[in-house]
Amino acid sequence: MAARLRIGDGPRVPVPPRPSREIDQQVKADTLLAFVGYHASANDRILTTAAGLSDEEFLATGKLDHDGAFQTLRHLMDVDWSWREFCIGHNVGDTCLWDHGFVLDDLPTIHAFCLDEDKRFWKYVESLDDVALLEPLATGPDFAVPRCLILAHVVNHGTQHRSEVARYFTLLDAPVLKWPGEPEKFALTG
């Protein structure tokens, strides 16, 4: 039973147990799919917003961790693809997706690739049951991590870079990722 905490003179309030450092054995594919769906939607929104930039703004360098919006979004697609490939058993090592014949030289090709890759990512995650999600995958000779954490990392990585690009877009005064009916100056990044 959870410990109880007395707050002031009010009723006793249950304190939730401290989170375990171990992975919950009740990992649900549905939960991960919700995040994968968000990831796909946010990818589409940031790439759609990028289409409103001038070539100079989109290709500007020295603005972000991966140089600029173009390189950052290209990097995002490479990471999504390479980790999905790793999870299905095709370890691509230190190569990039363009080393495998994919051409991502402009925004339309990045966006088209993204739409296709997000569908592949969704179908892949949808195909996994809870046992497969918890299966450890070796990422090095002495290290393995459950597949669900790799997949969560892909989504988190995308959020980090989309937020970085969205901040750059905001500085350019471009409308970014807002909820319908939300005022322009209160853009949701993600």
pLDDT score, position 29: 80
- Among 66-75, 112-121, 165-174, where is mean pLDDT lowest? 165-174
- CATH code of the domain occupying 29-171: 1.20.120.450
Q: Is the pLDDT of residue 1 over 50?
A: no
pLDDT score, position 184: 53
pTM, entire model: 0.78
Rounded to 5 degrees, φ, ψ at 158 are -60, -40
User: Partners of 146 in the beta sheet?
Assistant: 136
Q: How far is CA 34 from CA 28, 125, 157, in A?
A: 10, 10, 16
The larger pLDDT score, comparing residue 13 to residue 56, is at: 56
Beta strand pairing call for 143-146 and 136-140? antiparallel
Overall average pLDDT of the 50-68 stretch:
90
Overall average pLDDT of the 95-100 stretch:
94
Q: Contact 15/5 with Cβ under 8 angstroms?
A: yes
Distance, C-alpha 49 to centroid of its chain: 17
Q: Which one, of 159, 84, 166, lies nearest residue 120 by Cα?
A: 84
Cα–Cα dist 70/24, whole Å = 38
Q: pLDDT by residue (tens digit) across 142-190?
A: 899 999 999 999 999 999 999 999 999 888 876 655 555 655 554 444 4
Task: Work out the number of other CB atoms within 10 angstroms of the CB of residue 96.
Answer: 16
Listed by start position, the domains of the chain span 29-171
Q: pLDDT by residue (tens digit) across 10-39?
A: 455 565 555 554 555 455 788 899 999 999
Residue 25 DSSP code = T
Overall average pLDDT of the 73-98 stretch:
95
